[in-house]
């Protein structure tokens, strides 16, 4: 059975992954729309920047986050002095690291879903009087919804398993930033930690199955609704 400590680690992991997914989703939708619908100066730069965390070693992404959002980072110092918001070595920092790492996966799925919406339907909406923004809200996004949700689930799963950037930027502080991944790593270095590590491993397997089942169920429902 899970101990109180195990449960705390699992709860914190879920909180971090959920926060990372929900906070980054609106930005991911906006950027996916931009990449799918528009061609503009700096398109390739934005596209590359979005995909960067997918290609960079996670430790490097973590280090860049530390330099940017850390106590002495360009944005981090400003946020701390003006708004009192601190990311480094806090659970919010772990969420930021998870969000950054999951972002390219979320955008890829969302962008594909938006590109798959038949532009002829958007033209039909325009001929009926709908402005560009209204067409996006009432036609494009509802029809892309299964892909948007799929993107969020993939990002959530990625956030849950994130290790490199999280441990570099937020460390593995029990009760504050220690997630399932970083806890398992810490337990591996502890001769008495084997049993707890295995318990956490089983929990992550179960959560992963749950997430995949949920995404399949959502996709099936969406297919039924749009058919």
Partner 1 sequence: MSLHVQITHPLGRITLDVTFDATSGLTALLGPSGAGKTSVLNAIAGFLQPARARISVDGDVLVDTARGISVPAHQRRVGYMFQEPRLFPHLNVRHNLQYGRRFATNLRVSEADVIELMGLAPLLTRHTSQLSGGEKQRVALGRALLSGPRLLLLDEPLASVDTARKGEILPYLDRLRAELRLPTIYVTHNMDEILARADQTIRLVDGAIHS
Interface residues with partner 1 (CB under 8 A) are 120-121, 123-132, 135, 138-139, 142-143, 225-227
CB of 139 to partner 1, least distance (A): 6
Q: Which is nearer to partner 1, 140 or 172 (CB)?
A: 140
Q: Does residue 82 sit in helix, strand or coil?
A: helix
Q: Pick the closer one to partner 1 by CB: 3 or 116.
A: 116
Using CA atoms, how far residue 122 sits from 107, 119, 128, 146, 193, in Å, is 21, 5, 10, 18, 57
Q: Which of 143/187 has CB closer to partner 1?
A: 143
Q: Categorise residue 84: left if φ over 0, alpha if ψ from -120 to 50, beta otherwise.
A: left
**Contact present, 197 and 187 (Cβ < 8 Å):** yes
Least distance in angstroms from the C-beta of 26 to partner 1: 21
> In terms of CB distance, is 43 or 134 closer to partner 1?
134
- How far apart, in Å, are the Cα atoms of 68 and each of 31, 88, 176? 21, 10, 21
Beta carbon of residue 199, minimum distance to partner 1 (angstroms, whole number): 43
Q: How far is the CB of 151 from partner 1 (least distance, A)?
A: 18
């Amino acid at each position: 059975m899970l101990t109180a400590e195990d449960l705390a680690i699992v709860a914190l992991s879920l909180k971090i992954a959920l926060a990372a997914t929900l906070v980054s989703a609106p930005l991911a939708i906006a950027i996916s729309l931009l990449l799918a619908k528009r061609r503009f100066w700096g398109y390739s730069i934005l596209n590359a920047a979005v995909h960067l965390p997918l290609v960079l070693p996670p430790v490097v992404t973590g280090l860049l986050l530390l330099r940017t959002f850390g106590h002495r980072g360009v944005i981090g110092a400003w946020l701390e002095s003006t708004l009192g918001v601190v990311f480094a070595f806090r659970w919010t920092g772990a969420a930021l690291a998870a969000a950054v790492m999951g972002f390219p996966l979320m955008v890829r799925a969302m962008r594909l879903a938006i590109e798959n919406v038949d532009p002829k339907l958007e033209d039909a909406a325009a001929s009926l009087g709908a402005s560009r923004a209204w067409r996006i809200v009432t036609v494009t996004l509802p029809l892309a919804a299964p892909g948007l949700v799929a993107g969020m689930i993939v990002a959530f799963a990625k956030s849950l398993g994130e290790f490199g950037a999280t441990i570099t930027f937020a460390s593995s502080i029990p009760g504050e930033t220690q997630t399932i991944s970083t806890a398992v790593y810490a337990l591996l270095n502890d001769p008495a930690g084997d049993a707890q590590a295995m318990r956490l491993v089983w929990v992550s397997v179960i959560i992963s199955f749950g997430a995949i089942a949920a995404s399949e169920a959502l996709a099936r429902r969406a297919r039924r609704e749009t058919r």
